[in-house]
Amino acid sequence: MTILHHLDQTTLLRYASGDLDEAFSVVVAAHLAMCDECRRELRIAEDIGGRLLEESEMATVSDGAFSRIMCRIDEAEASGETILAAPPIALRGGKQDVPSTLQRYIGTRLADISWKTVAPGVRRHKIALSTPTRSALYMLKIEPGKAVPEHGHGGTEMTLILSGAYRDALGRFGPGDLADLDEHVEHQPRVEPGEPCVCLVATEAPTRFKGIFSRLLQPLVGI
């Protein structure tokens, strides 16, 4: 898999500093799970945090803090429970085409997702999050050859392609590619002929649509 479109640098720093809500961190983590290059970048971005922590001034920690933590450890051990984290087990083999970080949200196979038709040739699956966010997270499955009406964005929109591909003015987006778009971008993606395009999308705020196609797209993002 050759990935051509990566995380924007400011998105990388926002992820590293903990500034993305759950909808967006799911999309970013799924791209990171597929992309060695961005994972290397993330280590640099997290080293910044490590360094700032080291340089940080020292607040006064209450006297009993350390013995309190040791008490908790002793109590846990006395009760026979093991509190030490086990090394994670190697990944399951078998047929799965969903990045592992996404599996808790949509399962292991794209074929098992239940879709709801929201416009001709466009199906959607909403993803439930564990925390409330102002953003929405959903999957889209768009039929080959189908064009999404031209639209701008009321806020940030991130789209991660899981299978199939589309093209817009920014280029071709295939599996693993991430379209990391801020509110200033307008585009009109068209899915390539051949297979449907399945993608994971996070949108920040109500998306604004242009022209008469807006009615088509409103139900698509569910706002």
Nearer to Zn ion, 76 or 169 (CB): 169
Residues 122, 142 contacting (CB under 8 angstroms): yes
Of 43, 109, 172, 210, which lies in the binding site for another protein, with binding defined by CB under 8 A?
Answer: 43
To another protein, the closest distance from the beta carbon of 20 in angstroms equals: 8
Which listed range, 116-124, 125-133, 140-148, 206-214, lies at the site for another protein (CB under 8 A)? Answer: 125-133
* 38 touches Zn ion by CB under 5 A: yes
201 near another protein (CB under 8 A): no
Is residue 88 near another protein by the rule CB under 8 A? yes
| 187: DSSP letter | B
Cβ of residue 220: shortest distance to another protein, in angstroms?
24
> How far apart, in whole angstroms, are the C-alpha atoms of residue 14 and residue 103?
23
Assigned token pair, 35: 């992309």
Q: How far is CA 117 from CA 125, 167, 169, 189, 204, in A?
A: 9, 22, 26, 18, 22
Q: Please, are residues 207 and 157 in contact by the beta-carbon 8 Å criterion? A: yes
80 is a contact residue toward another protein (CB under 8 A): no
**170: contact with another protein by CB under 8 A:** no
Is residue 70 close enough to count as binding another protein by CB under 8 A? yes
Enumerate residues 141-200 that contact Zn ion by CB under 5 A.
157
Which partner, Zn ion, another protein, none, binds residue 38 by CB below 5 to 8 Å per kind?
A: Zn ion
Question: Burial, 203: exposed, middle or buried (Cβ in 10 Å; 0-12, 13-18, 19+)?
Answer: buried
24's enclosing H/E stretch is helix 22-34
In whole angstroms, the minimum distance from the beta carbon of 26 to Zn ion comes to 15
Q: What CA–CA distance (Å, rounded) separates 38 from 56?
A: 27
